[in-house]
Amino acid sequence: MSSKSVHDLDRVVIRFAGDSGDGMQLTGDRFTSDTATLGNDLSTLPNFPAEIRAPQGTLPGVSSFQLHFADHDVLTPGDAPDVLVAMNPAALKANVGDLRRGGIIIANADDFTTRNLAKVGYALNPLTDGSLESYHVHAVPLTATTVEALAEFTGLTRKAKERAKNMFALGLLSWMYNRPTAATQDFLKAKFAKAPEILAANLKALAAGVNYGETTEDFASSYAVGPAPMPAGTYRNITGNTALALGLVAAAHRSGLPLVLGSYPITPASDILHTLSGLKRYGVTTMQAEDEIAGIGMALGASFGGALGVTTTSGPGLALKSETIGLAVSLELPLVIVDVQRGGPSTGLPTKTEQADLLQAMFGRNGESPAAVIAPQTPNDCFAAAVEAVEMATAYRTPVLVLTDGYLANGSEPWLVPAVEDLPRIEPNFATEPNGVDKAGEPAFLPYLRDPDTLARPWAVPGTPGLEHRIGGIEKADVTGEISYEPANHDTMVRLRQAKVDGIAVPDVEVDDPSGAARVLVLGWGSTYGPIAAAVRRVRRAGYAVARTHLRHLNPFPANLGAVLGAYDRVIVPEMNLGQLALLLRARYLVDVRSHTAVRGLPFTTAELAEVLTAAVEELG
């Protein structure tokens, strides 16, 4: 054990930053895993460069990974890091502004060469010129020390040895925050099973990093963050994209329907395609389509054929899928459309987060074309949202859009793994026999004869004898489904489709207002859950009363939403768009909600929202 002193902390925010080739995402991931196993609550935020390979050592090439862990529940990845690991001058320059004053900088001194400094416009070396005086700077020769520690590996080139410097950095941080490294060692063993020398070098670098912290005088003490109280159970750390993929698989399993994904690669949704394509063992079929339109077409075709059709995409891809979503609305078949929102319009900011597809999801189709919309709130909530989307799509024979975003997709947090038997059973209820009679009085299948409760139509799968029927995008006659251009019938059908979606059963919103004295309500949707909850906690601690509620169902809205909005003097709606939910709420409930918006490609900070809420309370006096 360490001979140095150990200080207890209740929370720490660390940001690993380096060139995109420095392996910062992996380092952050590993540190997260090791932290999770210690029982801390945590939240992560990776930040990728938009360019695949920006020039080395430049600002656009900086990749970072932020982790917030604590001995209490964590709601966001944290506003300002306490610790910045900067592998080069670009990483320092791009991130130091976010670091809290008095924070720790661990910089790879070897990379602060005149040339690298000049690349990002540093005239002098910031590690030595005094400009970082308000921080605690550890200038560690990470590269040289790693190479030296690996001297015995004569079979490896210097370049290969240098590449292990991220493991050295991880070892050092693990020492600093008293993290075990066993899980990382196992991870490396699996990853480099076929390259024993590289494996040995990485393990050695990891251990050398730990030893460096232990023996170097530069690091006087280490820190401990105790476990957070969490409900009993088995936990894993999970990203939103993985949770979503697993939710789809679990729902398919509980429904007995084979999962068929039609998808086209697009950032940041592709990881769902990657994950699902590896799960064939669970009966999952994935088809990488020729384009976004074909992706959803394949999914809809699969649904027609009696499978659970799913398509995954991101902003511009959703635009391309619009027409087929309209067809699904008309065919009234189950279909799940996952949109991992990113900065728009057009190509926008592919690797950054935004919530600006809400109105597209609601209305971005021709004609009256209602579809259900669900928005998960946290990375692990993507699992539950996926299950719910499948349930809803199946029960109501309707397309359901799931709106996640880049922040949820790549962010991670601990997840209490649910028991399979606690997941809902989903009944496809396929039609198996005629449900009416034709004009001649013979038994017949009426494809648009609806369930009186849900207004869902029967799902008759091709291959079922006696139920042969034709469906299509042309307006259909009520009940029989035959082509109909009758004015009154069209009016009926438009209203029926709307009534069906309006009638989807969704739970009421719950209001969190512990004092019961709040006059200000803050209402968010989707991924703003964490930042809003953290801000509310902070504002309450300062003595202000603020009520909070969060919308998970955007279409239909919960039945009590209007009453909730009407019960407060001021409703604040923070969104990462220019006020799309606010527009819907004003139109629907005639309540003058106040928008707070930002579209910086990053989640809201707690500080920013706390300020907005404080001002709102103070304004009411």
Partner 1 sequence: MTTTAVNRTSAPTPVALTKKDFTSDQEVRWCPGCGDYVILATVQGFLPELGIARENVVFVSGIGCSSRFPYYVQTYGMHSIHGRAPAIATGLVTANPDLTVFVATGDGDALSIGGNHLIHAMRRNVNLTILLFNNQIYGLTKGQYSPTSRLGQVTKSSPYGSVDTPFNPISLALGAEATFVARAMESDRAELTAILKAAATHRGTALIEIYQNCPIFNDGAFDAIKDRSQQQARLVRLRADEPVRVGVEDSRQVLVRRPDGSLEFVAEAEADPAAYVIHDPYAADASQAFALSRLDSAEMTHVPMGIFRQVSRPAYDDVVRAQVDGAVESAGGAASDADLAELLRGRDTWTVG
Residue 107 near partner 1 by CB under 8 A: no
CB 169 within 8 A of CB 27: yes
Among 107, 142, 205, 279, contact with partner 1 (rule: CB under 8 A): 279
Segment 453-482, which members bind partner 1 (CB under 8 A)? 461-474, 482
List the end-to-end C-alpha distance of the chain, in Å, as a whole number.
55
Among 300, 374, 386, 493, contact with partner 1 (rule: CB under 8 A): 300
Strand partners, 467: none
- Please give the structure tokens belonging to residue 463: 């291959």
Quote the CA–CA distance of 337 and 310 in Å, as a whole number. Answer: 6
Vertex 22: Cα angle to 90 and 340 (nearest 5): 90
Segment 424-443, which members bind partner 1 (CB under 8 A)? 438
CB 216 within 8 A of CB 244: no
Residue that the structure tokens 């959703």 belong to: 318
- Nearer to partner 1 (CB atom), residue 155 or residue 233: 233
Residue 288 near partner 1 by CB under 8 A: no
Instruction: State in angstroms the smallest separation of the CB of 104 from partner 1.
Output: 27
Among 49, 61, 262, 334, contact with partner 1 (rule: CB under 8 A): 262
Pairs from 119-124 (Cβ < 8 Å, separation ≥ 24): 119/57, 119/58, 119/89, 119/90, 120/57, 120/58, 120/59, 120/89, 120/90, 120/93, 121/93, 122/89, 122/93
Which residue from 566, 561, 567 is spatially nearest to 581, judged by alpha carbons? 561
Quote the CA–CA distance of 234 and 429 in Å, as a whole number. Answer: 33
Among 244, 298, 392, 523, contact with partner 1 (rule: CB under 8 A): 298
Beta pairing, strands 5-9 & 221-225: parallel
- Nearer to partner 1 (CB atom), residue 301 or residue 556: 301
Contacts of 195 (CB under 8 A, 6+ apart): none
Among 417, 479, 496, 567, contact with partner 1 (rule: CB under 8 A): 417
- Please give the structure tokens belonging to residue 161: 């040895």
x/- string (CB under 8 A) for partner 1, residues 208-237? Answer: -------------------x--xxxxxxxx
- Nearer to partner 1 (CB atom), residue 482 or residue 611: 482
Residue 289 near partner 1 by CB under 8 A: yes
Instruction: State in angstroms the smallest separation of the CB of 297 from partner 1.
Output: 3
Instruction: State in angstroms the smallest separation of the CB of 15 from partner 1.
Output: 22
Residue 67 near partner 1 by CB under 8 A: no
Among 253, 274, 490, 594, contact with partner 1 (rule: CB under 8 A): 253
Residues making up the chain, counted from first to last:
621
| Residue type (1 letter), 306 | G
Residue 329 near partner 1 by CB under 8 A: no
Segment 4-43, which members bind partner 1 (CB under 8 A)? 33, 36-37, 39
Residue that the structure tokens 């922040």 belong to: 407
Beta pairing, strands 372-374 & 335-341: unpaired
CB 408 within 8 A of CB 527: yes
Residue 306 near partner 1 by CB under 8 A: yes
Q: Which one of 5-13, 125-133, 136-144, 326-334 is the stretch in contact with partner 1 (CB under 8 A)?
A: 326-334
- Nearer to partner 1 (CB atom), residue 60 or residue 462: 462
Segment 483-522, which members bind partner 1 (CB under 8 A)? 483
Among 13, 99, 327, 617, contact with partner 1 (rule: CB under 8 A): 327
Instruction: State in angstroms the smallest separation of the CB of 201 from partner 1.
Output: 23
Segment 112-151, which members bind partner 1 (CB under 8 A)? none
Residue 183 near partner 1 by CB under 8 A: yes
